[in-house]
Chain A
Amino acid sequence: MRKGQYRFVAGFLFVPVALYLIFVIWPYIQTFGYSLTDWKGESQTFKFVGLDNYRALLHDDVFKEAIWHNLLFLVFIPVITILLALFFAFMVNAGGRSKAGGVQGVAGSGFYKIVYFFPQVLSLAILAVLFNAVYRSDGGGLLNGFLIKLHLVDVNNPVEWLNEPNMVLWALMAVVVWHGVGFYLVLFSAAMQSIPRDIYEAALIDGANRSQSFFRITLPLLWETVQTAWVYLGIIAMDMFVLVSSMTSNMGAYGGGPDHGSDVMSTVMMRNFLYFGKSGYACAMGVVMLLLTLVLSVVTLRATRRERIEF
Chain B
Amino acid sequence: MGSTSAENNGSKGVGRRDLIKRSAALGLISVPTMSFLSACASGGGDDSGSGDATKGTTSKSNPFGVKKGSTLDVVVFKGGYGDDYAKAWEANFKTKIGVSSTHTGTQEITGKLQPRFNAGNPPDIVDDSGAQQIKIDVLYKNGQLLDLSPVLDAPAIDDPTKKVRDLLIPGTLDPGVQEGKVVALNYIYTVWGLWYSGKLFKDKGWTPPKTWDEFIAICQKAKAAGIGGLAHQGKYPYYINVAIMDLIAKKGGIDAVKAIDNLDPKAFVGSAAAQAGVEAIYEVVEKDLLMPGTNGLTHTESQTRWNQYKAAFITCGSWLENEQLKLTPTDFDMKFLPMPLLPDSKMPFEAIRAGSGEPFIIPAKAKNLPGAKEFMRHMLSKEWSTLFAKEANSLTILKDGVDSSVTLRPGTQSTVDASKAAGDNTFRYLYPDWYSEMDTSIQNASNELMAKRIQPKEWLKRCQAAVDKQAKDPASKKNVHS
Identify which of B34-42, B276-284, B345-353 touches chain A.
B34-42
Nearest Cβ on chain B to A283's Cβ, whole angstroms: 5
**Known interface pairs A40-B138, A137-B297. Does A232 touch B436 (Cβ–Cβ under 8 Å)?**
no
Q: Which of B132, B237, B293, B440 has the most CB of A within 10 A?
A: B293
Q: Does A34 contact B (CB under 8 A)?
A: yes
Q: Does B127 contact A (CB under 8 A)?
A: no
Q: Which residues of the partner chain B approach A257 to less than 8 Å between Cβ atoms? A: 235, 237, 444, 447
Identify which of A96-104, A110-118, A155-163 touches chain B.
A155-163
Would you call A259 and B40 a contact (CB within 8 A)? Answer: no
- Docked pose: A160 CA to B292 CA in angstroms: 10
Within B174-190, the residues touching A (CB, 8 Å) are: none
Q: Which residue of B lies closest to A9 (CB)?
A: B1
Q: Which residues of the partner chain A approach B294 to less than 8 Å between Cβ atoms? A: 137-138
Q: Does A270 contact B (CB under 8 A)?
A: yes
Q: Which residues of the partner chain A approach B30 to less than 8 Å between Cβ atoms? A: 24
- Mask, B451-468, CB within 8 Å of A = 1, is 101000000000000000
- Docked pose: A239 CA to B31 CA in angstroms: 8
Within A281-297, the residues touching B (CB, 8 Å) are: 282-283, 286, 289-290, 293-294, 296-297
- Docked pose: A276 CA to B432 CA in angstroms: 12
- Docked pose: A161 CA to B34 CA in angstroms: 31
Q: Does B25 contact A (CB under 8 A)?
A: yes
Identify which of A175-183, A204-212, A214-222, A244-252 touches chain B.
A244-252
Within B423-464, the residues touching A (CB, 8 Å) are: 436-437, 439-440, 443-444, 447-448, 451, 453
- Docked pose: A24 CA to B30 CA in angstroms: 8
Q: Which residues of the partner chain B approach A135 to less than 8 Å between Cβ atoms? A: 296
Would you call A259 and B117 a contact (CB within 8 A)? Answer: no
**Known interface pairs A27-B38, A160-B295, A160-B296. Does A277 touch B21 (Cβ–Cβ under 8 Å)?**
no
Q: Which residue of A lies closest to B447 (CB)?
A: A258
Q: Which residues of the partner chain A approach B296 to less than 8 Å between Cβ atoms? A: 135-138, 160-163, 249
Would you call A158 and B293 a contact (CB within 8 A)? Answer: yes
Q: Which residue of A lies closest to B44 (CB)?
A: A44
Would you call A23 and B38 a contact (CB within 8 A)? Answer: yes
- Docked pose: A257 CA to B450 CA in angstroms: 13
Q: Does A165 contact B (CB under 8 A)?
A: yes
Q: Which residues of the partner chain A approach B139 to less than 8 Å between Cβ atoms? A: 42
**Known interface pairs A30-B40, A155-B292, A158-B292. Does A252 touch B439 (Cβ–Cβ under 8 Å)?**
yes
Q: Does A123 contact B (CB under 8 A)?
A: no
Q: Which residues of the partner chain B approach A81 to less than 8 Å between Cβ atoms? A: none
Identify which of A50-58, A84-92, A223-231 touches chain B.
A223-231
**Known interface pairs A231-B25, A249-B237. Does A275 touch B135 (Cβ–Cβ under 8 Å)?**
yes
Q: Does B326 contact A (CB under 8 A)?
A: no
- Mask, A146-176, CB within 8 Å of B = 1, is 0000000001111011111100000000000
- The tally of residues in B whose CB lies under 8 Å from a CB in A reads 67
- Docked pose: A91 CA to B118 CA in angstroms: 55
Q: Does A199 contact B (CB under 8 A)?
A: no
Would you call A294 and B29 a contact (CB within 8 A)? Answer: yes
- Docked pose: A40 CA to B141 CA in angstroms: 8
Q: Does A31 contact B (CB under 8 A)?
A: yes
- Mask, A73-93, CB within 8 Å of B = 1, is 000000000000000000000
Nearest Cβ on chain A to B387's Cβ, whole angstroms: 31
Q: Which residues of the partner chain B approach A234 to less than 8 Å between Cβ atoms? A: 28
- Docked pose: A162 CA to B301 CA in angstroms: 15
Nearest Cβ on chain A to B198's Cβ, whole angstroms: 24
Q: Does A193 contact B (CB under 8 A)?
A: no
Would you call A138 and B292 a contact (CB within 8 A)? Answer: yes
Return the contact of A251 from the options B20, B39, B297, B440 (Cβ within 8 A).
B440
Nearest Cβ on chain B to A189's Cβ, whole angstroms: 17
Q: Which residues of the partner chain B approach A310 to less than 8 Å between Cβ atoms? A: 8
Would you call A27 and B293 a contact (CB within 8 A)? Answer: no
Q: Does B59 contact A (CB under 8 A)?
A: no
Nearest Cβ on chain A to B100's Cβ, whole angstroms: 28
Nearest Cβ on chain B to A14's Cβ, whole angstroms: 17
- Docked pose: A215 CA to B137 CA in angstroms: 60
Q: Does A253 contact B (CB under 8 A)?
A: yes
- Docked pose: A270 CA to B110 CA in angstroms: 12
- Docked pose: A30 CA to B27 CA in angstroms: 20
- Mask, B2-44, CB within 8 Å of A = 1, is 1000001000000001001100110111111111111111100
**Known interface pairs A257-B444, A259-B447. Does A286 touch B37 (Cβ–Cβ under 8 Å)?**
yes
Q: Does A131 contact B (CB under 8 A)?
A: no
- Docked pose: A252 CA to B436 CA in angstroms: 8
Would you call A42 and B142 a contact (CB within 8 A)? Answer: yes
Q: Does A26 contact B (CB under 8 A)?
A: yes
Would you call A27 and B40 a contact (CB within 8 A)? Answer: yes
Q: Which residues of the partner chain B approach A296 to less than 8 Å between Cβ atoms? A: 28
Nearest Cβ on chain A to B397's Cβ, whole angstroms: 26
Return the contact of B141 from the options A9, A31, A266, A277 (Cβ within 8 A).
A277
Nearest Cβ on chain A to B235's Cβ, whole angstroms: 5
- Mask, A267-311, CB within 8 Å of B = 1, is 001100111110100110010011001101100110000001010
Would you call A136 and B40 a contact (CB within 8 A)? Answer: no
Q: Does B45 contact A (CB under 8 A)?
A: yes
- Mask, B257-280, CB within 8 Å of A = 1, is 000000000000000000000000
Q: Does B305 contact A (CB under 8 A)?
A: yes
- Docked pose: A258 CA to B33 CA in angstroms: 24
Q: Which residue of A lies closest to B39 (CB)?
A: A273
Would you call B117 and A293 a contact (CB within 8 A)? Answer: no
**Known interface pairs A43-B118, A250-B236. Does A235 touch B31 (Cβ–Cβ under 8 Å)?**
yes
**Known interface pairs A165-B453, A259-B447, A293-B29. Does A42 touch B37 (Cβ–Cβ under 8 Å)?**
no
Would you call A289 and B33 a contact (CB within 8 A)? Answer: yes
Return the contact of A40 from the options B20, B31, B36, B142 (Cβ within 8 A).
B142
Would you call A253 and B234 a contact (CB within 8 A)? Answer: no
Q: Which residues of the partner chain B approach A136 to less than 8 Å between Cβ atoms? A: 293, 296-297, 301
- Docked pose: A286 CA to B38 CA in angstroms: 10
Nearest Cβ on chain A to B51's Cβ, whole angstroms: 19
Nearest Cβ on chain A to B372's Cβ, whole angstroms: 18
- Docked pose: A265 CA to B168 CA in angstroms: 45
- Docked pose: A24 CA to B1 CA in angstroms: 27
Q: Which of A43, A238, A270 has the most CB of B within 10 A?
A: A43
- Docked pose: A42 CA to B119 CA in angstroms: 9
Would you call A42 and B114 a contact (CB within 8 A)? Answer: yes
- Docked pose: A1 CA to B27 CA in angstroms: 28
Would you call A228 and B447 a contact (CB within 8 A)? Answer: no
- Docked pose: A300 CA to B301 CA in angstroms: 43
Some 5 contacts from A to B, beta carbons below 8 A apart, are: A30-B41, A139-B292, A163-B447, A250-B443, A293-B33
- 5 A-B pairs with least C-beta separation: A137-B296, A138-B293, A277-B138, A252-B440, A42-B142
Residues of A at the B interface (CB closer than 8 Å) are 1-2, 5, 9, 23-24, 26-28, 30-31, 34, 40-45, 132, 135-141, 144, 155-158, 160-165, 224, 227-228, 231-232, 234-235, 238-239, 241, 249-253, 257-260, 266, 269-270, 273-277, 279, 282-283, 286, 289-290, 293-294, 296-297, 300-301, 308, 310
Q: Told that A235-B27, A289-B33 touch, could you supply 7 new A-B pairs with CB distance under 8 A?
A: A138-B301, A160-B234, A234-B28, A273-B39, A279-B40, A293-B29, A297-B28
